[in-house]
Structure formats: C-alpha cells, structure tokens
Amino acid sequence: MPRIGIELNNVCNLDCTHCFRSIYRGGAENNKDLFLPLDVLERILLEAGPLGYNHVAITGGEPPMHPQFGEALDIIARLGFTYHFLTNARNFQKTLKAISTPLRRSKLSGISFSLDGATEATHDGIRGKGSYREVVTAIATCQAVGIEASIITTINKANRHEIDQLALLGAHLKVKRQIFGHQNPTEHNMGEDLILPLTEWRAVERDVARVMTGFRHDISMAVGFYTDYFLPRCAPLTLDDLNIDYRGRLTLCCQLSNYRDAGGDGEDVVGDLKKESLTSALSKLMNLVTKVHQERLEMAADPNQKDKLHYPCLVCVERFQKTGEKPILVQMEQARLKV
C-alpha cells in the first residue's frame, strides 16, 4: 500500500538510549518550528492523493504531542486517507480521547507501540522508568476498545535475549502484528554499548524467523536485515513510502531523517514542501533514488565494497554521513572493542 510517512513533530517526552532522532528537548512552547504546520500537511495530502497514496504513517518525535494532533487527524481522515501512528504510550488516555471522534476513528487502521523489552527492567532500562507499564496497559486498552495494536521492537544488546519472550508477550496481548528490527547505530547508542556486533545480526534474524512460525499473530522483521538483493527493494527506494519531516521537507527515508549526532542535513533531504510542490520535490527524489541504485551497482562490482550491501540500511547510514567520517562498520567494530 503506497504510504506517506509524516513526522508530525520533533519533541518527545522520553529520552530513549537507542533513539536515532535528534530530538529537541527544550521547552516546545516558543518553538513552533518543531511541529509540522497543518496547512503544509493538507497541501501535501491534496497532491499525494491523486498519485495513489492513500495511507498516512505518522511518526515523530512523539506524535500525540503535536498541539493540533486531533486536527491533523481530521485533515487526514477528511481527505480520505487511512492512518496509523507510532507511540511510546505515555499519556495514552489523552491520546485515546484525541482519536475518539467518529471521523478520526473511522480512518484509524491501528496503533503501533514501541516495546523494547519483554520485562519491565529491560524496557525501562532503554526507555525510562514507568514506560513498560504504560505500553502494556495501552495495548490492553486498545484490545478492550477494538483498536488494532501492533508492537515494534528494536533489537540491541540489552534485549537480544528476550526475542522469544517478546513474541510470547505479543501473543498474550493479542496484537495483530509484531515487528522486530535491527538498531541503527548512532554515536550515542554506540557509546552506550547498545549495538550488537554485526556477527550477531544474523543470529537475531534466525531467532526472529523461528518465532515467526511459532505464533498465530503476524511476526516479521523490518527492512535492514541481511539480504542478497544488492539493489534494495525497500519501500523508500521504490517510492512506496514517502517521508515528510517535521519541517515539511521531503526526505529519502524515515530511518535517516533528523539523525542523532549527524552534522546537519544530508543529501537525503530533497525538497522543502513549504516552498515547492510535492511533484517538484518528487522529481528530485527520483534522481536521488537512481543515483543510489547506480552507486550500489558500482559497489556490487567492487570486491572491497560488495559485502557491505548485505545490510542496505547501514550502507545508507554511511552514504548519507549520519555518523561521522569513519566507515560505519569500522565504528561499530571499534565500539565493540571498547568494552
């Protein structure tokens, strides 16, 4: 399903150790630039609809913290889009109230909750005290009121041993879908020793593959796992997923956007939709996509480079210079040896 990803804001009420966003943590009151203006949202959707995009995936920051969260949902629903959003579940009763008008509920396809541990100690160790209970309670609430809930887990050194338990918890909580993903490296999370060595990544994938067949709910692995497709078929590179950042700019991928510790914008930011049409920015994105594929074709022919292509998102993190000058695999190896 072609989707528009919207980073609704760049504020958050948590400070998760693994987070790849450069979240602004000062007071939001005087900082309107942290929130996507709703007239920009409306204009983007008006242009995206006729191109066949019909679903909005809302992320952030913490999306319900947008001061006009409900109004944003009204625009999305009124223009005929379905939507889901990602949340950390903090203040979920308030969020529930915001989504409860008939219009907003009619187009809500589900809520995805980030759960980063099967136990309170593991999850709260990454996300902060009280978060585990909030997530589990919010998922149970969704179950009670008939909202489809999903779980997203980012696998790292702290929770790697809990994959089976996480799947069991997903089954208990009766979630529709559960997605496991590798954790992308930032200088911060490498410094906190959360990144698994690359040699462990395939073992994680095997563990996830095993639980996929053992449960009735849908379990999958997010893009970024080992692949032999050297020209990646991920949704951003096929234009099935577009990403709009909180400043109203079209960017290549939500995984690279507003990256923590990156020195400013990269080439992945292609157009400012406050100033130009989606059509004009999309044509620049198409050029970038072609360039990325071209570069991967060249890497595939280079014996010193080609093995990197097994992990396509790490290639992007390095290509778009999100974590300093040194090659990312070298940095990951150095972080591992520091322990």
Site residues (vs ligand SAM, CB under 6 A): 12, 18-21, 59-60, 62, 86-88, 114, 152, 154, 181, 183-184, 186, 189
Q: How many CB atoms lie within 10 A of CB 49?
A: 14
Cβ distance to ligand SF4 smaller for residue 77 or 185: 185
Q: Could you tell me how far CA 19 lies from the centroid of its own chain?
A: 10
Q: How many amino acids of this chain bind ligand SF4 (CB under 6 A)?
A: 24
Nearest distance from residue 235's CB to ligand SF4, in Å? 7
CB of 152 to ligand SAM, least distance (A): 4
Helix (H) or strand (E) holding 330: helix 328-338
Label each residue of 134-185 as H, E or C.
HHHHHHHHHHHHCCCEEEEEEECCCCHHHHHHHHHHHHHCCCCEEEEEECCC
Ranges within 244-303 binding ligand SF4 (CB under 6 A)? 252-253, 255-256
* Nearer residue to ligand SF4 within complex by CB, 77 or 204: 204
**Contact by Cβ (8 Å): 151, 175:** yes
CA gap 11, 24 in Å, rounded: 6
**Contact call for residues 215 and 208 (beta carbons, < 8 A):** no
Pick what 313 binds: ligand SF4, ligand SAM, none; C-beta below 5 to 8 Å, kind-dependent. Answer: ligand SF4
CB of 113 to ligand SF4, least distance (A): 11
> Considering beta carbons, is residue 12 or 138 the nearer one to ligand SAM?
12
Find the helix or strand (DSSP H, E) in which 6 lies. Answer: strand 3-7
71-110 positions binding ligand SF4, by CB under 6 A: 88
312 binds, among ligand SF4, ligand SAM, none (CB under 5 to 8 A by kind): ligand SF4
